[in-house]
């Protein structure tokens, strides 16, 4: 099957359409979720730098990448450095501790969304001072394996509060800002609310209750190309959308 890549004008049109849908979905949220504007993270995994520039020039600023080496290559690309000076990179893939220094050296790194253990939190906390330019903390989210699938990364649902507490109390160089889940692929929303999204919402409630944190201070990163509107209606603060913006991804080995 031939790959279909969107042109710059199509990327621009797709972004506008998605932003419009996000705004419509946001109006359907419960009153307690009306205090923020949902963030769109354009997942540029395996997409060419020209597509990233097209989205950036259309107004998109937040971009998500899954692989450290690919993010490094793109972030240091002369085209990105020249054309996308205010880009904000989200790392949304599995992060191995031996690649922590490489990821923290990325220019315009905005957040690591996939902290799933004390050990990874420690590694990020200990290394960050070597790379930051001021007293700023590194934004992090705790990834939760809400679907409890063995092949998925993320901490166990029962350990969320413990890990969040550890980050807050033992990692002064990190700023905990929310929870993230990938969830099970292919869920049919006609069957009702996505149980993975409901699970993440309940995790936030538990963290707030047990650690005395205001709900407004804990973001929820959930929802992708096929279900981002549903996720926003349920209270997602950040959705990760790739193929709906850029078109089908090329194979990884390309």
CB 237 within 8 A of CB 38: yes
pLDDT tens per residue, range 103-115:
999 999 999 999 9
> For residue 53, how many C-alpha atoms fall within 13 Å in the half-sphere facing its CB?
12
Q: Rounded to an integer, what distance in angstroms lies between the CA atom of residue 9 and that of residue 50?
A: 12
Q: Rounded to an integer, what distance in angstroms lies between the CA atom of residue 87 and that of residue 40?
A: 13
Tell me the pairing of strands 109-115 and 39-43: unpaired
Q: Strand ranges (DSSP E) for 163-209? A: 174-180
Kindly report the average pLDDT of the chain as a whole number.
Answer: 94
Instruction: Extract the tokens encoding 100.
Output: 């922590």
Report the percent of the chain where pLDDT is more than 70: 96
Domains and CATH numbers, the chain: 39-246 (3.20.20.10)
Torsion sign, CA atoms 239, 245, 249, 254: negative
Q: What pLDDT does residue 149 have? A: 86
pLDDT tens per residue, range 212-250:
999 999 999 999 999 999 999 999 999 999 999 998 876
CB 220 within 8 A of CB 237: yes
In degrees and rounded to multiples of 5, residue 2 shows phi and psi of: -70, 145
């Amino acid at each position: 099957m031939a790959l279909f890549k969107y042109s710059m004008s199509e990327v621009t049109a797709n972004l506008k359409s998605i932003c419009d849908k996000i705004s419509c979905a946001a109006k359907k949220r419960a009153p307690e979720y009306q205090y923020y504007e949902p963030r769109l993270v354009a997942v540029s995994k395996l997409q060419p730098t020209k597509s990233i520039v097209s989205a950036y020039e259309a107004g998109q600023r937040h971009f998500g990448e899954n692989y450290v080496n690919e993010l490094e290559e793109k972030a240091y690309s002369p085209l990105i450095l020249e054309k996308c000076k205010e880009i904000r990179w989200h790392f949304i893939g599995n992060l191995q501790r031996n690649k922590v220094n490489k990821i923290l050296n990325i220019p315009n790194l905005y957040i690591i969304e996939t902290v799933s253990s004390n050990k990874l939190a420690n590694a990020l906390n200990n290394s960050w001072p070597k790379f930051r330019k001021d007293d700023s903390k590194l934004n992090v989210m705790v990834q939760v394996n809400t679907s409890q699938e063995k092949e998925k990364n993320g901490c166990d649902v029962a350990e969320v509060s413990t890990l969040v507490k550890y980050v807050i109390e033992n990692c002064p160089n990190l700023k905990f800002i929310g929870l993230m889940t990938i969830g099970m692929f292919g869920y049919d929303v006609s069957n009702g609310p996505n149980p993975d999204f409901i699970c993440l919402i309940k995790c936030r409630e538990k963290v707030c209750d047990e650690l005395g944190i205001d709900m407004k201070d804990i973001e929820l990163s959930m929802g992708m190309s096929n279900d981002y509107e549903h996720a926003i209606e349920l209270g997602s603060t950040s959705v990760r959308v790739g193929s709906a913006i850029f078109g089908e991804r090329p194979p990884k080995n390309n």
